[in-house]
Amino acid sequence: MKPALPVSLSPSLSRLRERGTRNRLAMFHAKRTTLRGLVLLAALLVGAGLRPAWGAEAPLVFGVFPHLTARQLLVTYRPLAAVLEKRLGRPVLVYSARDFRTFIARTRAGEYDLLLTAPHLAWLARQEAGYRPLLKYSEPVHALLLTRTDSKLAAMQDLRDRVVAVADEIALATLAIELDLTAEGLERDRDYRTLPAVTPVNAMTQLLAGRADAAIVGTHPFKMLPAEKRAQLRVVARTHAMSSLTYLAHPRLSDDAAQGLREGLLEFAASPAGREFLAKGGFGTLVEADDSELAAFRPHALRTQALLRAAP
């Protein structure tokens, strides 16, 4: 079995299933490139409409929502893709998108066979595209309001007239913290302004660089930050515990295929590489997910829909 292709941020995912001929030479050279080169090559291949040389069977597309950088997504989820390939007997391609909105649009269009996403976006995926919940990480998460260790910010009220870096206004962490800020009498664009940063990692980068006074991120991206950078940040406030990332299967997959995905995910979680992955991200383990649990995120999902409709 060929290895899974690295994460790509190309806007042309639908071309993935088209056959190409020149990609064989490109993939030959890809084996001799650096990790960074692999990521860039993947984007170029798919953007050009070229399909990886895996043979006649189309790959299964594993969509991971963009809570990490492309490099982090590749390093983090490629071992899981390898286990799924072995279990399913078909190639698995790890894919993401350049931002949250693009990822939601691709989810709505059904471009991902297997989906890993935030719970409010999982609710949307279920409602809008019929995705079926499979499993979720057991460890609850919190939305965090961060500042630098040398900052004088001590509470939410200190954000008046300040700049807050956020991945996106529709990120669950942003929605949750802003609900708490509203309860404190603080409104965005009136009492503070936000600095869109596309991903949680970039939001923390903007904070560390001094271009923002605070940042809003989730537990997982914060834990994935290198220890030396994490030591430069401190938590000003955190929300109540919330359900974690959820895996879902597209309805076009058969029951047997969906069951194979579930078993492959559990197999990975029980492996040494899987246990290391779960521990590093603070994910706990994998447990069953269902529609009733996702229903708790309906208000956040409806808020997301409203923000998407209002976008220019």
Taking only the tens place, the pLDDT of each residue in 95-127 is 988 888 999 999 999 999 999 999 999 999 999
Cα dist. 304→5, 104, 140, 196, 249 in Å?
Answer: 31, 10, 21, 16, 21
Query: What are residue 279's phi and psi, to 5 degrees?
Result: -70, -45
For the ranges 14-28, 110-124, 144-158, 186-200, the lowest mean pLDDT is seen at 14-28
Alpha helices in 113-188 (DSSP H): 119-129, 172-183
| Site of tokens 């040494």 | 272
What pLDDT is stored for residue 116 in this prediction?
A: 96
DSSP β-bridge partners for residue 233: 148
- How are strands ordered across the β-sheet holding 286-288? 92-95, 60-64, 114-117, 246-249, 132-137, 286-288
What number is the average pLDDT over the span 87-100?
89
Buried/exposed 177-186: b ≥16 CB within 10 Å, e otherwise: bbebbeeeeb
Please choose, from the candidates 214, 156, 219, the residue with its C-alpha nearest in 3D space to the C-alpha of residue 182. 156
For the ranges 23-32, 58-67, 167-176, 288-297, the lowest mean pLDDT is seen at 23-32
| pLDDT exceeds 70 at position 153 | yes
| Sign of the torsion angle spanned by Cα atoms 305, 306, 308, 309 | positive
Rounded to whole angstroms, the Cα distance separating 61 from 92 reads: 6
Q: What percent of the chain has pLDDT over 70?
A: 81
What pLDDT is stored for residue 294 in this prediction?
A: 83
Query: What are residue 34's phi and psi, to 5 degrees?
Result: -75, 170
DSSP β-bridge partners for residue 165: 195, 215
| pLDDT exceeds 60 at position 33 | no
| Site of tokens 């190409």 | 20
**Burial (CB count <10 Å: 0-12, 13-18, 19+), residue 255:** exposed
Answer yes or no: pTM beyond 0.85: no
For 242, which DSSP code?
Answer: B
List CB contacts of 66: < 8 A, sequence separation 6 or more: 73, 96, 97, 98, 99, 100, 103, 198, 199
Band (57; pLDDT cuts 50, 70, 90): low
**Three-state secondary structure call for residue 146:** strand
For 1, which DSSP code?
Answer: -
Task: For the chain, give the longest Cα–Cα distance.
Answer: 60
Please choose, from the candidates 241, 96, 292, 66, the residue with its C-alpha nearest in 3D space to the C-alpha of residue 170. 66
For the ranges 29-33, 52-56, 190-194, 216-220, the lowest mean pLDDT is seen at 29-33
DSSP β-bridge partners for residue 118: none
Q: What is the pLDDT of residues 158-189, one digit of tens each?
A: 999 999 999 989 999 999 999 999 999 999 99
| pLDDT exceeds 70 at position 283 | yes
For the ranges 6-15, 40-49, 82-91, the lowest mean pLDDT is seen at 40-49
Query: Domains plus CATH for the chain?
Result: 13-139+243-310 (3.40.190.10), 143-238 (3.40.190.10)
Rounded to whole angstroms, the Cα distance separating 269 from 135 reads: 11
